[in-house]
């Protein structure tokens, strides 16, 4: 799989370690997601495990009886995610494993909900990932995307990103419309949240 971005370190440490909680925006990001989560028990897919924050959040927030699968192509992210899930005591509710947004190891219509938090700016091409995420959600399933907007490119990421790695929410909305979704977008100064359903 093609990868974007060059990792770099500051004083021997990744510039954004697991402690940074989305540069202080974590609270507001989780509140925006919370408002959009289904209230019934669901099977949810978290794409891009990363630090495991969203997997843990979903497992805590979704209705009792829900299950979360979290995938990432990076072994290191899966190790970090597994540790976060275990530390939170949520190993029975979250299954982690290898997988990429463009090729998800699940059958069609497996999930009620697919979520990608700070995933899109890592993708080389977004439309194949959207089609694949659409494939694994049910016909009435929901897609939730949160990502940094173009103004965030100067944040001290552990990976060196270019300004063109970050999309405007309108660009994401257009890509969603072109891949068979209807979307609503909420824009914040640094990040955006998109809620999409299949049309």
Ligand X SMILES: C[S@@+](CC[C@H](N)C(=O)[O-])C[C@H]1O[C@@H](n2cnc3c(N)ncnc32)[C@H](O)[C@@H]1O
Stretch that binds ligand X, among 7-15, 118-126, 133-141, 178-186 (CB under 6 A): 118-126
Residue 123 CB, shortest distance to ligand X, in Å, is 5
Identity of the residue, 2 or 92, whose beta carbon is nearer to ligand X in the bound complex = 2
Q: Which residue number, 17 or 182, has a Cβ lying nearer to ligand X?
A: 17
Which class for 90: exposed (0-12), middle (13-18), buried (19 or more C-beta within 10 A)? middle
From residue 123 to residue 162, the character string flagging contacts with ligand X as x (rule: CB under 6 A) and all else as - is: x---------------------------------------
Q: Kindly tell me which residue out of 117, 137, 175, 193 binds ligand X, with binding defined by CB under 6 A.
A: 117
The radius of gyration of the chain from alpha carbons, rounded to an integer in Å, stands at: 16
What is the smallest separation between the CB atom of 118 and ligand X, expressed in angstroms?
Answer: 4
**Which stretch, 95-103, 105-113, 176-184, 188-196, contacts ligand X (CB under 6 A)?**
95-103
**Choice between 58 and 176, CB closer to ligand X:** 58
DSSP state of 90: -
Pick from 138, 126, 75: which is nearest to 102 by CA?
A: 126
Report the residue number, 52 or 169, with the smaller CB distance to ligand X: 52
Long-range contacts of 148-156 (CB under 8 A, 24+ apart): 148/118, 148/121, 148/190, 148/191, 149/187, 149/188, 149/189, 149/190, 149/191, 149/192, 151/189, 151/190, 152/190, 152/191, 155/16, 155/23, 155/190, 156/10, 156/15, 156/16, 156/23
Please report the DSSP string for 104-164 in residue order.
-SS-TT-EEEEEEES-GGG-S-HHHHHHHHHHHEEEEEEEEEEEE-GGGGGS--SEE--GG
Q: Which of residues 43-82 bind ligand X (CB under 6 A)?
A: 47-54, 72-74, 77
In the region spanning residues 4 to 33, those forming contacts with ligand X, defined by CB under 6 A, are none
Is the CB of 130 or the CB of 199 nearer to ligand X?
130
Decide if residue 192 touches ligand X (CB under 6 A): no
Between 133 and 176, name the residue whose CB sits nearer to ligand X.
Answer: 133
CB of 133 to ligand X, least distance (A): 10
Q: What angle do CA 145, 150, 151 make, to 5 degrees?
A: 115
Which residues sit at the interface with ligand X, rule CB under 6 A? 1, 47-54, 72-74, 77, 100-102, 117-119, 122-123
């Amino acid at each position: 799989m093609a990868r974007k971005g060059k990792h770099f370190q500051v004083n021997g440490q990744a510039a954004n370690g697991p402690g940074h909680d989305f540069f202080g925006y974590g609270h507001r990001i989780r509140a925006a997601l919370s408002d959009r989560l289904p209230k019934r028990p669901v099977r949810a897919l978290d794409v891009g495990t990363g630090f495991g924050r969203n997997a843990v959040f979903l497992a805590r927030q979704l209705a009792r009886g829900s299950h979360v699968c979290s995938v990432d192509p990076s072994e290191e992210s899966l190790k970090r995610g597994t540790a976060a899930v275990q530390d939170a005591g949520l190993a029975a509710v979250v299954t982690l494993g290898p997988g990429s947004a463009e090729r998800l190891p699940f059958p069609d219509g497996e999930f009620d909900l697919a979520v990608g938090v700070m995933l899109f700016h890592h993708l080389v091409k977004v439309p194949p990932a959207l089609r694949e995420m659409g494939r694994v959600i049910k016909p009435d399933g929901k897609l939730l995307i949160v990502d940094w907007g173009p103004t965030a490119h100067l944040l001290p990421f552990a990976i060196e990103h270019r300004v063109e790695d970050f999309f405007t929410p309108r660009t994401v909305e257009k890509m969603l419309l072109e891949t068979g979704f209807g979307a609503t977008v909420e824009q914040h100064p640094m990040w955006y949240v998109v809620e999409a359903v299949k049309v």
